[in-house]
Amino acid sequence: MLQKRHDETLAELKRSHTDELERLHESHRQELDQTIQKHKELLDEHRKQSPHDILHKEVESLQIVVEMRNEEIRVLRKDLMDYKNTLNDLQMAREYGKTLQAKIEDLEAQLEKARADKRSLQEGYQMLESNLQQTESENNRLSRCNEELHWKIKSHNLEEN
């Protein structure tokens, strides 16, 4: 049960991270498309401008692309660290789940032993109860026989007198 819940949580986290990663990739693709469009526009302007201006703008454009790529790398590294942390947490939770499962199995074994002991004690109690009833019945019978014998002795003594 715990393993199933753990697997479901892991799957949900994977889906969530995959969706977030796809969203980021799409966002970066759009930014890249915009950058390419700007680059094309700059290229058109470059054709109209002097070589010095063209180089200066090209350098600026490349710096922007490098900054964007650096930001992408930073985001991806952060995501990777988050994934690693999540994986570590899940592994620790899995180990804790195994420990709890072992404790549950131990407690179930103890409970079954206690139940068996209780059944054994109940059977012993019933046997003692039965023996007690038999002994009481035997005592009552012997008591009646004893009274009968006392009565016969008295009757016999009275007849002799």
CB atoms within 10 A of CB 64: 13
Is the distance from CB of 102 to CB of 18 less than 8 angstroms? no
Q: pLDDT tens digit string along 114-144? A: 999 999 999 999 999 999 999 999 999 999 9
**CA-CA distance, 113 to 104, in Å (whole number)?**
14
| Residue boundaries of the structural domains of the chain | 2-160
Q: pLDDT tens digit string along 81-90? A: 999 999 999 9
- The per-residue pLDDT for 161 is 65
Matching residue, tokens 């008591």: 143
Q: Is the dihedral of CA 82, 85, 90, 91 positive or negative?
A: positive
Specify the length of the chain in residues: 161
Q: Which two tokens stand for residue 2?
A: 């715990």
**CA-CA distance, 117 to 139, in Å (whole number)?**
32
- pTM equals 0.43
Is the distance from CB of 28 to CB of 75 less than 8 angstroms? no
- The per-residue pLDDT for 101 is 97
The predicted model gives 6-10 an average pLDDT of 81
Residue 66: pLDDT over 80: yes
Residue 38: pLDDT over 80: yes
Q: Give the residue, 78 or 18, on which the prediction is more confident.
A: 78
